[in-house]
Amino acid sequence: MPNLKNCYIKFHTNDDDKDDDTHVTVTVRDSNQIIAARIDNDFGHFDDQSDNGPFGLIVINQSAKSNLQTGSVTIRIDPNGHDTWKFNFFLALVFDDGSTLSGGADGLQLSQDNREQSFGLNGILH
């Protein structure tokens, strides 16, 4: 079974921007809740109607493709004060045999009051 080699995420900001000092953390876990890949950074300001990335996640554990297919991805923001960010994301997992799983979600919103959303990878990756 192939193992995770690379992972990246792209964002499209919709009609509410991300402030330059809002910290973003993306964590990909396999079905055993082991962190496979992660990135956290402020990334700067994301304008309304803009595309940002791809941002390469650091592969922490080269989880097997079969375990990642039923894993999860969590996107979290930690704003400095108030911030509402409306966005879509696209996630790609690249495996050591050259195969990929990719997908995403649209119409998301995170804010200082709702900082985190998680998704089952089996529901978004193809």
CA triplet 68, 72, 74: central angle to 5 degrees?
140
User: Over the stretch 22-42, which tens digit does the pLDDT of each residue have?
Assistant: 999 999 999 999 999 999 999
Q: Helix or strand or coil: residue 65?
A: helix
- pLDDT confidence bin for 126, thresholds 50/70/90: confident
Confidence of residue 123 (pLDDT cuts 50, 70, 90): confident
Delimit the domains of the chain by residue range. Answer: 4-124
HSE at residue 112, side-chain half, CA atoms within 13 A, is 8
Per DSSP, 64 falls in state: B
CATH architecture of 4-124: Sandwich (2.60)
Q: Which residues, 6+ apart, have CB-to-CB distance to 44 below 8 Å?
A: 20
For residue range 7-22, what is the model confidence (pLDDT) as tens digits?
Answer: 999 999 999 999 999 9
Max alpha carbon distance in the chain (Å)? 45
